Amino acid sequence: MEEEKIKKVSIICSKGSLEGVYPALILANGARMEGIEASIFFTFFGLDAITKKRMGNIKVSTVGNPGMHIPTVVGSIPGMSAMATAMMKKTIAGIDIPPIDEFIEMIHEAGGKLYGCKASVDMFKLTKDDFCEQVEKILTVGEFYEMSAGAQIIFT
């Protein structure tokens, strides 16, 4: 019996750090490259990735991040986050992954859909105008679930 192929993914991006945003973008881009319908639902601090004023300044989280493999006290030293961010951005560019704003544009041009979470937008007192032009709509959670019917839901 042949396995059923994934036809649609809905990715939830809730973290506003480089290590939170890039997985969602990579998954959405990969899905589109495989001909899979893809959408990203940005919620809570994940909204930073699509907010015009913040999307160019996403950083690596060094404090309390077990993936950094450094003690929290070291991560809290002034300049550590900036240094880790610069190193990560250099590494990302070195493997030909674009900066966040370009990546979002690529995904959109490939047919990927980008949405903001209404509850988070309201909580942070944002409006549709605060987001990059690639954002299709601000959705309620109910609208997200309705739109995601039949999709694999991926939480990054």
Rounded to an integer, the average pLDDT of 128-139 is 97
Q: Look at residue 2 and tell me whether its pLDDT is greater than 80.
A: no
Rounded to an integer, the average pLDDT of 64-75 is 80
52: which 2 tokens? 């015009």
- How far apart CA 135 and CA 116 sit, in angstroms, is 7
- Of residues 18, 19, 2, 29, the one with CA closest to residue 114: 29
pTM: 0.92
Rounded to an integer, the average pLDDT of 35-62 is 96
Q: Look at residue 49 and tell me whether its pLDDT is greater than 70.
A: yes
Rounded to an integer, the average pLDDT of 151-156 is 94
3-class secondary-structure state, position 86: helix
Rounded to an integer, the average pLDDT of 25-29 is 98
Q: Look at residue 92 and tell me whether its pLDDT is greater than 70.
A: yes
pLDDT at 1: 67
- How far apart CA 69 and CA 149 sit, in angstroms, is 39
- 27 band by pLDDT with thresholds 50, 70 and 90: very high
User: Which domains are delineated in the chain?
Assistant: 8-155 (3.40.1260.10)
On whether the CB atoms of residues 130 and 53 are closer than 8 A, the answer is: yes
- Of residues 48, 43, 49, the one with CA closest to residue 145: 43
- For residue 12, the surrounding DSSP H or E stretch is strand 8-13
Q: Which long-range contacts (CB under 8 A, 24 or more apart) does 27-30 make?
A: 27/154, 27/156, 28/107, 28/112, 29/103, 29/106, 29/107, 29/110, 29/112
Q: Tell me what the pLDDT averaged over the chain comes to.
A: 94
Q: Is the dihedral of CA 156, 116, 50, 113 positive or negative?
A: positive
